[in-house]
A and B are shown apart, each in its own frame.
Chain A
Amino acid sequence: MPDSRNLSHKAAIVGAAETDTVGVLPDRSVLQLHAESAFNALADAGLTLDDIDGVATAGVSPAQLTEYLGIMPKWIDGTAVGGGSFLIHVGHAVAAIAAGYCDTVLITHGESGRSRVGAGGFGGARQSMSGQFEAPYGVAGPPSMFSVPIARHMKVYGTTEEQLAAVSVATRQWAQQNPRAMMRDPITIEDVLSSRMIAWPLHLLNCCLVTDGGGALIVVSEERANDFPKKPVWVLGRGESSQHTNISQMWDFTEWTAAAKITGPEAFRMAGLDQSAIQHAMFYDAFSHTPIYALEALGFVGPGEGGPWFAEMNSAPGGKLPMNTNGGGLSYTHTGMYGMFAIQESVRQLRGEAPAQLDNVEVSMVHAPGGMFSATSTLILGNQ
Chain B
Amino acid sequence: MVGQQRMQKPLPQATPETQEFWDGLKRHELRMQHCNTCDRGYFYPRPFCPYPGCHSRDVEWRTASGKGTLHSYVIAHRGHPAFEPPYVIAVVALEEGGKMMTNITGLDDPTPEKLPVDAPLEIVYQDVDDEVTLPLWKAGVGSPQIAAAT
Contact = CB atoms under 8 A, between A and B. Distances in A.
B79 A68 contact: no
Given A137-B89, A152-B71, A248-B101, A50 B53 contact: yes
Given A27-B16, A131-B13, A136-B12, A253 B76 contact: no
A198 B77 contact: yes
B74 A148 contact: yes
A72 B53 CA distance: 11
B100 to A, nearest CB: 7
A234 interface: no
A38 B70 CA distance: 34
B64 interface: no
Contact of A200 (B18, B101, B103, B112): B112
A68 B42 CA distance: 12
Interface residues of A, number: 54
Interface string A26-60: 11110110010001000000001110000000000
B149 interface: no
B141 interface: no
Given A126-B13, A132-B18, A49 B55 contact: yes
A270 interface: no
Contact of B9 (A134, A138, A150): A138
Contacts of A118: 15
A166 B137 CA distance: 34
A179 interface: no
B99 interface: yes
Nearest to A139: B89
A50 B52 contact: yes
Interface in A157-215: 196-202
B11 A136 contact: yes
